[in-house]
Structure 1
Amino acid sequence: MPALSPPPQTGRLDKSYPLVSGHTAPVLDIDWCPHNDHVIASGSEDCTVMVWSVPEGGPSRPLTEPVVTLEGHSKRVGILSWHPTAQNLLLSAGCDNVVTVWDVGEGRAALSLDELHPDVIYSAAWTQDGALLCTTCRDKQVRLFDPRARGTVANEVSRPHEGSRPVRAVSVDDGKVLTTGFSRMSERQVAVWDPRNPSEALTLQELDTSSGVLLPYYDPDTNVVYLTGKGDSSIRYFELTGEAPFLHYLSMFSSKDSQRGGAWMPKRGLDVSKCEIARFYKLHERKCEPIAMTVPRKSDLFQEDLYPDTAGPDPALSAEEWLGGQNASPVLISLKDGYIPPKTREFKVNKSLLEGPRRSQTPQEGALPGGAQLDRISESLRRLEATVATQDRRISELEQRLGK
């Protein structure tokens, strides 16, 4: 059973530490690229998604210019998720009920689904191979679908939880879906469903009466599910199996401080010499605390049962291959000798993006400008002409003075 080891260092960064600050409104979600440890995406209330390239070793000065700004949402963007197997594909979902898949390498929206969800989207998560997307919505539906099928839903679970509070869902082993939500009596619940037979949950467990929405994190290597939420001071973890009762409670980590947010370290960042199987970064009011979950074993040998080959940083497909209909499982790596990151990993984008920040194009924007684009170009030309005319007058005046 996992135990917890003390973090090496906690606390708040110095106020002078350089920040990534380019949005004009609060940032609602961030997601590190699974194929490049120096690339991060951020979504904001300013309705934009920005992709940043963080220098190796961290920024030495504030980062204010993203590699690319992705525009297309009409309301705030609260959900981001990089594609797990295809390079440079990023999913975003906003309060405009639109799901967009961006080709970050080209700085454009490759897919945009604006009629699939009739209400606010609560969560969105890819399957392990990135073939399907699992979403939850205020309309009480859990949808499992291929974004490339233009909104055709493969499977659907209606009202996985009876309560009115938000539902979260992740895809787990063998095509199943794990959901968290609330009962009619506002008790927090966790359930496992087979979307191919959604009439009844495979298992449903009631946990407590806390008010925070539980956020599930699934580790496919160990089949362990971790549940935690904003405002919680605990992390529950369960083992997922293929037979009834399917979900087995393991243990719970508790502390006196509640969390405002958190994130999980990718497997290749764990310390295998200490049998660390998961690490959670817990955001407090004034600090970020790493919480390491370890299995208490004394052997110095590599524990193969704890560390099967895991998803590595190399993409299995290009963006074009996935958009063309191909699917592929993640490219796996061994952690036996520990993960050693390469000295440099190229962020493959269109060369024009590397020349400076660039605004994205929506799928409706073609090569030729039209509508609002023409208006903006015309306005820019008018301003330029006015500036040139002003400069010409000033030059003429200076020439007259010099002549006198």
Structure 2
Amino acid sequence: MYVAMSRKVVRTSKFRHVFGQAAKADQCYDDIRISQMTWDSSFCSVNPKFVAMIVDASGGGAFMVLPLGKTGRIDMSYPTVCGHTGPVLDIEFCPHNDNIIASGSEDCSVMIWEIPDAGLTLPLTKPVVKLEGHSKRVGILSWHPTAHNVLMSAGCDNVVILWNVARGEAAVIIDSVHSDLIYGVSWNRDGSKIVTSCKDKMLRVLDPRKGTVLLEKEKPHEGSRPVRAVFVSDRRILSTGFSRMSERQVALWDLDNFDDPLTLQEVDTSSGVLLPFYDPDTGVFYLCGKGDSSIRYFEVTEEAPYVHYLSMYSSKESQKGVGYMPKRGLEVNKCEIARFYKLHERKCEPIIMTVPRKSDLFQEDLYPDTIGPEPSVEADDWFGGTDAPPILISLKDDFVSTTKAKEFKVHKSLLKTTSASAGGNLTDGSGELQALRRDLKDVKTALEELSHRVSVLESKH
């Protein structure tokens, strides 16, 4: 009996000693005016090439996209993506192409942008595609995990739309399920199901192509504040919410028995909505609260009590938003298992989560094969009913070189299918026009450099 008890107290886990560390000052992105909007999205999206942040913009909406290596102080005049006429509420990079990012705005539209490899040298005002279908502001975006060019959006019109981005059209409109504001939408691993949380106090599992409700749970959390939910496996969902006494909670649900949670734990009494980020490779999930100054992390296991608190990263300053780096963007030689990009009022600070290990050899147990950038099914096939698991990659070898070829292929096919099908939605259809634009950009850059040199010379005299 005593042995069993003591084993319960100290649970063995290789993630017990994971620790978070803020990047050094010169590795942060400084002097960025992060958006003052009170919307509950993460305000930040990252991938192995870029970090994007929603920023304050006078008259309209904008976000900034920086190459990962462009750290330090960012000039006030640094160009932004600024084609929306209302504030930007959510942004998300495409998982299958690091140069493509989607944005949703108060102007009721969703826009798809292409970012040049070296980042922006001029403000970007023309999207590759503009997706129109919502009647109120669009605050939630989520790309399909395995299907190429499928994007899900949710608006304040209580509608979820699944877009075939390649064709520039709404393929599925789910407009009769949610009776109130949608708080969150999330895909399962192969994108065959979605889970939504709503102000009507319902957690729903839906078939995204049919728009039908497969399962629903009333009041997963008793409180009236926003609930968020993510799949942690095909049959299990993790939710965050509030108790009737406004305590923040985390719960784990089994879809085979949706009546009661497998576990329900109190977290604390803060008021910020908890954004959950789950890593299926390690079974670790991270809770980042808007307005919090901490990131808590837990491990999900198959056996009771299912959810195990690991530790917490704390700092003095609260976060206005947070970006989560895909696994393929981490430094495996430093045993980094997660990286967050924490937004302050005026800067973005990377937070690195590592497992302390003495060996500098590749740690197989920390890095099982993970989701790569290659999609496993095309949009038309997926909408036609085809599901496919993610295509996994090993992080052990020269993974980077293989990604470049894949990105280029995916990236070209995105533009090819878009220009072929989107017709009137496309702004930059012809290659000649793009070449002209590039030439014009080069001339402008040269002129700016010349005028700068002239002004430097004048100031010397």
Alpha-carbon spacing, 1:169–1:277, altered in 2? closer, same or farther (3 Å): same
Q: Deviations over 1:227-272 (max 9, x none)?
A: 0111000000000001110000000000000010111000000000
Task: After TM superposition, list the pairs within 5 Å mapping 1:64-83 onto structure 2.
Answer: 64-83=125-144
1:183 correspondence with 2:243: yes
Structure 1: segments with no counterpart, 5+ residues: 362-404
For 2:424 and 2:231, locate their aligned partners in 1 and report how far apart those are by CA, in whole Å: 33
Partner of 1:397: none
The residue number in structure 2 matching 1:15 is 76
Residues 68, 359 of structure 1: 8 Å contact kept? no
Which residue number in structure 1 is paired with residue 361 of structure 2? 301
Aligned match for 1:329, one of 383, 389, 392 = 389
Change (3 A) 1:359 1:252: farther
* Structure 1 residue 298, shift from structure 2 partner: 1.7
SS of residue paired to 2:276: strand
Partner SS, residue 381 of structure 2: helix
CA contact (8 A) 1:70 1:359 kept: no
Matched, 1:221 2:281: yes
Instruction: Name the CA shift for 1:255/1:6 in 2 (closer, same or farther; >3 Å).
Output: closer
Alignment of 1:149-160 (within 5 A): 149=210, 151-160=211-220
1:62 corresponding residue in structure 2: 123
2:310 to 222, 236, 250: 250
Letter in 1 for 2:237: V
Q: Is the 8 A contact 2:114 2:128 kept in 1?
A: yes
What's the TM-score once normalised by structure 1's chain length?
Answer: 0.86
SS in 2 for 1:185: coil
1:48 paired to 2:64: no
Cα 1:359–1:178 shift into 2, 3 Å: farther
Matched, 1:32 2:48: no
Q: Following the alignment from structure 2 to structure 1, what is the Cα–Cα distance between the partners of residues 203 and 106?
A: 25
Partner secondary structure for residue 322 of structure 1? helix
- Higher Cα Rg, which structure: 1
Q: Secondary structure, in 3 states, of the residue corresponding to 1:22?
A: strand
Matched, 1:342 2:358: no
Deviation of 1:196 (Å) = 2.2
Alignment map for 1:3-402 (pairs within 5 Å): 3-8=19-24, 9-10=27-28, 11-12=30-31, 13-149=74-210, 151-337=211-397, 339-340=399-400, 341-342=403-404, 344-347=408-411, 348-349=413-414, 351=416, 353-354=418-419
| AA aligned opposite 1:139 | D
> Do the aligned residues in 1 keep the contact of 2:168 with 2:425 (CA within 8 Å)?
yes
Q: Which amino acid aligns with 2:132?
A: E
Question: CA 1:313/1:286 → structure 2, altered by over 3 Å: closer, same or farther?
Answer: same
Displacement after TM superposition at 1:5 (Å): 3.7
Q: Distance in 2 between matches of 1:350 and 1:285?
A: 35
Whether the 8 Å CA contact 2:228–2:276 is kept in 1: the answer is yes
Output the CA distance in 1 between the equivalents of 2:138 and 2:212: 23
Q: Displacement, 1:360? A: 5.3
- Separation in structure 2 between the aligned mates of residue 189 and residue 211 of structure 1, nearest angstrom: 11
Once the two structures are TM-superposed, the CA of residue 359 in structure 1 deviates from its matched residue by: 5.8
Aligned residues: 360
In structure 1, what is the Cα distance between the partners aligned to 2:256 and 2:112? 36
AA aligned to 1:140 is K
Which AA in structure 2 matches 1:104? V
Question: Root-mean-square deviation (CA), in Å?
Answer: 1.7
Amino acid paired to 1:161: H
Unaligned runs of 5+ in 2: 1-16, 32-73, 427-461
Query: Matched residues in 1 for 2:417 and 2:356: separation?
Result: 51
One-letter amino acid of the structure 1 residue matched with residue 19 of structure 2? A
In the alignment, the residues of structure 1 paired with residue 213 and residue 139 of structure 2 have an alpha-carbon distance, to the nearest angstrom, of 22
SS across alignment from 1:173: coil
Alignment match, 1:400: none
Counterpart of 2:171 in structure 1: which amino acid? A
Give the Cα separation in 2 of the matches to 1:145 and 1:207.
28
**SS at 2:377's partner residue?**
coil
- CA shift, 1:319, in A, is 0.6
What does residue 391 of structure 1 align with?
none
Q: Do 1:65 and 1:357's aligned partners in 2 also have CA atoms closer than 8 Å? A: no
C-alpha displacement of 1:358: 6.4
- Aligned-partner Cα distance in 2 for 1:214–1:232: 9
- Given that 2:240 and 2:250 are in contact with CA atoms closer than 8 Å, whether structure 1 keeps it comes out as yes
Are the aligned partners of 1:124 and 1:169 in contact in 2 as well (CA < 8 Å)? yes
Describe the superposition over 1:14-70 as per-residue Cα deviations: whole angstroms up to 9, x where unpaired: 112111111011100001000000000000000000000000021121111110000
- Give me the whole-angstrom Cα distance separating, in 2, the residues matched to 1:338 and 1:291: 25
